[in-house]
A and B are shown apart, each in its own frame.
Chain A
Amino acid sequence: MSEYRLSVGMEVHAELRTQSKMFCRCQVAFGGEPNTRVCPVCLGLPGALPVPNREAIQMVLRTALALNCQVPVDSVFHRKNYFYPDLPKGFQVSQYEETNPIGYHGHLMIHTSKGPKRIGIKRVHLEEDTGKILHLPGGGSGVDYNRAGVPLMEIVTDFPPDIESAEEAREYVAQLRQLLVYLGVCDGKMEEGSLRCEPNISVRRADSETLGTKTELKNLSSFRNVFLGTEYERRRQIAVLETGGTVAQETRGWNEATESSYLMRTKESEQEYRYFPCPDLVPLHFDRADVEAARAALPELPLAKLQRYQDEFNLSPQDAQLLTAERPWAEWFEAAVVAGGDPKAVCNWMNGDFARLLKETGQAAVIPGVESDTEGREPARMSPEILVKVAKLVADGTITGKKAKEVFEKAYMTGDDPASMVEGQTQISDTDFIRQAVADVIAEHPDPVATYRSGKGGVLGFLVGQVMRRTQGRANPPMVQEEMRRQLDETS
């Protein structure tokens, strides 16, 4: 079999997290009774006039800037004309042309097994979502227009494509999703259709200069499916070519159950969409000062955070990755560091017991008074200040690491001050107290003592354990160990 090269262009559609729709003020929400969030504008009734959503435009601007895009001075909306029942107006309002979309000519850096890679972005534009078609039992189709007109951002990679493997396709989508969630422009819920990926996939022989015929793949509702779908299409197309066939340009759907693709409709050609500027909408104008203000207001982006956590806090790439995966989690970590926590200790508590307890209780880590959880989960009682207190009790030797886990869990459940929990149970580091306890144990266990002195050091653990038992686990273990060794060696 010949060597083949894969090329993947990616179109990502992201529903924006606005309160209202793109061109009317109907509420944006998921689910609910069909056709209850509609009005003359989103139903395309005669005479209804659209007014663009200011916040949606700001969200796309933020995304464009975060993706290192150019922003035009003037930008217009176009009509893309085609007939389909999920499109009540007979056209979709979108943005056409090379340098007209709110963002164009940008890039996103992704991590790959071969190091960082630059994925060119052709454009970031704003359009409106379609309604949903439901197939009814007994034939016929029904349409729900609740989703029609929801602001939809489309992010398209450069041509010719930079993505050359299924892993890179998955990684691109994963990092783009993380970025959009960080920016607060999309909830990133692929399973609810908030983020939809459509790779254009083609293969060519390794020695060929020109790209092969591409197929577009739809219905990929997870990172895993982006990977599986791309890999499936790569193999399918190679098999077609190897048996002397030609790949047809077509839209294919992904069947999650059978993990295979199937032929969907053949679409109109670009020319047939008859794009033209929408006469109902006046142009957008981006003042340079406003663009720079928006750029300055961008939050620290995931990749920058990842690097800073390694440089500034001396954390491993793995630790930094876990902490920066989600913005609220990263901000919680930063609040704990600001509260005086040692970064590594805070990191260990967060990625260990804290993460486990959150998962068990279904709660969310929320900085008190700063942010509420976007998922609507109950906020955990654990605050950055409480976590720092527990970490400090361990660091200054007041409690043992083992005891600290208990204290942490109790503080998690109650939100009480850890200091009040350890009264009377604090670790004992008093030298005289430990010396006496060690002496008592040595006196009470002549046989193990003799064994130790005959050169079998392994019994030391048993003797230390006896001291811990006698002190209800409160004696400082390293001190006990040292004192035990000293007394045994001294009197032998």
Chain B
Amino acid sequence: MPITLDEVRHVARLARLELTEDELRAFQTELDALLGHFQDLQAVDVTGVAPKPHAVALQNVLAEDVARFGLTRDQALANAPKSRAGLFLVPSIRED
């Protein structure tokens, strides 16, 4: 298989996914198939085809700079697993 188990483990860590050995192997097979599709795509000759920045033919869809009220604090915090003093509570972040 072109993708190693360590690479799957690394991608899982970046995605903050905790996977069992069985799951890692299952994903290895699935990711391998997925990468296979990209190899098919890479085989297509695109000489002379300009890269398209987006799938839809729109550009400069912009909004005017006028401030509007969004959510109340209670609404904003309604789905938070934990909150305190108007803040979203998260596990302790230590940087120093």
Contacts and interface: CB of A to CB of B under 8 A. Distances in A.
A283 B90 contact: no
B65 A33 contact: no
B45 interface: no
Interface in B53-87: 53-56, 58-73, 76-77, 79, 83-87
Contacts of A142: 83-85, 87-90
A381 to B, nearest CB: 33
Given A34-B86, A39-B70, A143-B88, A283 B53 contact: yes
A51 B63 contact: yes
Interface in A397-433: none
B37 interface: no
B92 A140 contact: yes
A253 B86 contact: no
Given A35-B76, A283-B54, A19 B66 contact: yes
B56 A54 contact: no
B92 A268 contact: no
Contacts of A140: 84, 89-92
Interface stretch (A111-119, A128-136, A176-184, A342-350): A128-136
A282 B87 contact: no
Contacts of B16: 83
Residue of B14, B60, B89, B92 with most partner-chain A CB within 10 A: B60
A18 B63 CA distance: 12
Contacts of B53: 74, 76, 277, 283
B23 interface: no
Interface in B8-67: 14, 16, 53-56, 58-67
Nearest to A136: B84
Interface residues of A, number: 56
Contacts of B6: none
B1 interface: no
Contacts of B89: 136, 140-142
A282 B58 contact: yes
B65 A19 contact: yes
Contacts of A74: 53, 59
A41 to B, nearest CB: 8
B73 A36 contact: yes
A54 B93 contact: no
Contacts of B83: 142
Nearest to B63: A51
Interface of A: 18-20, 24-28, 33-40, 42-43, 45, 51-57, 74, 76, 81-83, 85, 133-136, 139-145, 253, 262, 264-265, 268, 272, 274, 277, 279, 282-285
Given A19-B65, A36-B73, A76-B53, 13 more contacts: A19-B67, A25-B66, A26-B67, A27-B68, A34-B85, A40-B70, A42-B70, A51-B62, A74-B59, A133-B90, A142-B87, A283-B54, A283-B59
Interface of B: 14, 16, 53-56, 58-73, 76-77, 79, 83-93, 95-96
6 contacts: A20-B65, A25-B67, A43-B71, A136-B84, A282-B59, A283-B54
- 9 tightest A-B contacts by CB? A39-B70, A142-B87, A55-B65, A27-B67, A54-B62, A285-B59, A85-B90, A283-B53, A25-B68
